[in-house]
Structure 1
Amino acid sequence: MGDIRFTPQFQHVDWVDGKDRVRAKDPNGFNARFSTIESDLVQFSTVVAKVDAKLDQIENRPTRRELWLPPQQLAGPGNATHGWQVTTTGALVSSPGLCTGVMDLLLPEGVRLLTFRAIGQTTNNVTAAIKLSRALFGVGSFPQAMATVTASGAQYDVTVDVDPAQALTTTASFRYFIDARCENNFVAAVTISTFQIVYSTS
């Protein structure tokens, strides 16, 4: 707001008893002084309007928020031996074999999802696909991947953008979840330490 300024023009000069004759039209008369005061008030009202507009912009500016999600035990669809276990530190670690699981999310309504992030580690070059997804309520609906993290490397910290076409949450129509799968994981392990979702409130 550095471009908003108010510089008053009116400067009062005292009249002196017995010397000044107060008139209407003199340069120091009532008309000139009141006209200058009126001009200052008009300028001041313009400045107030600009300040109000700037405050409205700040108030209506989208707010970015971070949602950190401790990984829950990922339940595999129809598979009790899904292969993900919670460690003593609260992280998730895969058992050798095919790991697949889903973690439900409760997201705010009407926010715009911006990014999806996963942090953890892998061994022996095993790769995990970790997806932020949604599905319409009802039997037979198919999951729609909104963002996919490919987790690989001894330490991974991967952030990907959420598909803008699916970014606006509609919790009355969709359920949201994280799907994590690791394949060819026969002698190694994948660890998931945490998830993060960044969203905008408008």
Structure 2
Amino acid sequence: MNKKIRIALDGPSGAGKSTIAKNVANTLGIDYIDTGAMYRAVAYKIIQSGLDVENKRDLVEMLENTDIDFSKGNIILDGIIINDKIRTSEITKMASICSAYSEVREKLVSLQRKMGQSKSIIMDGRDIGNNVLKDAEYKFFMTASTKERAKRRWIELTEKGENITLEDVEEDIRQRDYKDTTRELNPLCKSDDAIEIDTTGLSIEDVTKAILDKIK
């Protein structure tokens, strides 16, 4: 890559964004910014410090002294790689809690924009093209049918040993879609200048190639 580019990749849960983003990042030799992992990193720091997340003053002070970055597939919190420390159920629960705080969201969006100013990145999420990286050189909106997304997620969960039905996963997907598209702050929606890619029935390789062809 001889010039800096920012790639925004939005879409609903189960569309395959993270898998495709990693493939594109590896092919282009740029950093993949996992926005979900950033909330996990904040959750990890909250738990490690014993912070009461409802204490806004302490939370803001902690956030002011927090730095998160990505490099070569690693997530780095305050200069320390924490890849293997943020994938526990305890972290997942706290990440969900702290993501509801505007102070946390504002801090992480600020860090995400900072990354976009300093280097070439691909970033996935729900509001990257519409909010975080409005001036990204490339914007894509990945989607797929509800049944297709539910099947992918069900396979992923059952392979991890979870006992859950496909019907329950599909209902969870529907509920998450509703919450994402109707929330007051930066709801999920396709930006006017994004290229939409329906991944229903497509392989990972097909989708990766489609995006790379547009970029190249």
TM-score scaled by length of structure 1: 0.22
Q: Which has the higher strand share?
A: 1
Q: Which has the higher helix share?
A: 2
If asked which structure has higher relative contact order (CA below 8 Å, sep 6+), I would say 2
